[in-house]
Amino acid sequence: MSWVYALHDRGLGYPWDCPLHERRGLRCFIGEVRFARVFHLVRFPLHAIASLDTYKPSSWAFVDCLTDGSGLAPEVLHDPNQRILRCARHWVLWNKFVGLYAEKRFRTENLDPVDVCRKAGFGTRCGAANPAGTAKLQVNNRAHQKIEWADLERLDPSLATTIKAMAAEYGYPLDFGDN
């Protein structure tokens, strides 16, 4: 499930709206809805953070509400370093947020749709397991810059340490992106 289906919108053009008097806090974002299964799909942090820079302005407007105003002034957004920091902060906050609710985490790089189906409780309706390497995943090919651990360490050593710790928690070796 995508965040589009899990969060309240607050009038920014996504499926749900949040009343004016509730425009702050996570309750507005998650509301009273609790889905039967919440799965956390993760991707290698350096790849995910780099691709976040391709978000459209409407997506960043929504993100900035969740991340409590981590947005940047338009003139600062021309600085690639500031954009990387914005994307990295969002990656950390979003993954911590989803981690609060998720009951299972999957890495997109080795995702088996049949396994996800079974974990969701659909049992025999899921079909047979896919032989290794046969799952066809949709790839987002939007052009974006490549970032390295050294880039994050140079820009914000503390943030880089946090992201590395989360990568390890998610089962990624730090040199994963070099493969």
pLDDT digits (tens, 9 = 90+) for 38-72: 888 999 999 999 988 887 777 777 676 665 555 55
| pLDDT tens-digit readout, 94-125 | 898 888 878 899 999 888 888 888 888 888 78
Whether pLDDT at 164 is above 90: yes
Is the pLDDT confidence value at 5 over 70?
Answer: no
Q: According to the model, what pLDDT value does residue 115 have?
A: 87
pLDDT in tens, 88-99: 988 998 898 888
| pLDDT at res. 31 | 52
Structure-block tokens of residue 90: 């969002």
**What are the residue ranges spanned by the domains of the chain?**
36-109+145-178
- How far is Cα 81 from Cα 145, in angstroms, rounded to an integer? 11
- Rounded Cα distance between 129 and 33, Å, is 31
- pLDDT, residue 154, reads 96
Written as one string, the DSSP assignment of 60-116 is: HHHHHHHTTS----TTGGG-HHHHHHHHHHHHHHHHHHHHHH-SEEEEGGG--HHHH
Backbone angles phi, psi at 106, to 5 degrees: -125, 140
Give the pLDDT score at 14.
42
Confidence tier at 15 by pLDDT (50, 70, 90): very low
- Looking at every residue in the chain, the average pLDDT score rounds to 74
- The mean pLDDT of 146-166, rounded to a whole number, is 95
Note the pLDDT of residue 90.
86
